[in-house]
Amino acid sequence: MTERHLSHSEADTTNLAARLAQRLGPGSVVLLYGELGAGKTTFVRGFVQGLGLAPDEVSSPTFTLIQDYGEGQVFHVDLYRLEPDEVEDLGLEELPEAGGLVCIEWADRLPSPIAGATSVRIVDGGGDTREFVVSFAEAEGASAGSIDDEM
């Protein structure tokens, strides 16, 4: 299933991500795609907020590679500085096993797809406008209905 959403502000992006976080089950993985400045980290802030965690703790984990929010409730991964062969050494497959949600920025650097992951492609529409294309895996544990149902 694929959904498309328009955002016209950081607040719209945050709200969209928060609603997505509330739909996903334990151990879910979200793959984030988009150019520099597209809003991937803003999306993760909203995602974290949707789970009742402090969004102001979220920063781009470019230098630490993996950040942990809420003692394992959310893992935030940034693959920007890595090549696909370096990604294999991170042990990303272990992160969702403990039941935490995983958000991976620059998912195009993954050496292979992650089965069952939700993909979020962010397209810069100019100014503050972004289009979010959210693709759920067939076996996804997300509840029925659209992210926009609560708008």
Q: How confident is the model at residue 62 (pLDDT cuts 50, 70, 90)?
A: low
Cα–chain-centroid distance for residue 45?
9
Task: Report which listed range, 72-81, 88-97, 141-150, is most confident.
Answer: 72-81
Confidence (pLDDT) at 118? 97
3-state secondary structure of 136: coil
Of the listed ranges 19-23, 79-83, 117-121, 140-144, the least confidently predicted one is 140-144
Q: From CA 108, how far away is CA 90, in angstroms rounded? A: 15
Question: In the CATH hierarchy, which top-level class contains the domain 2-139?
Answer: alpha beta
pLDDT over 80 at 149, yes or no? no
CB neighbour list of residue 64: distance below 8 Å, 6 or more residues apart: none
CB atoms within 10 A of CB 112: 8
State both tokens at 18: 């928060």
pTM flag (> 0.75)? yes
Backbone angles phi, psi at 100, to 5 degrees: -75, 160
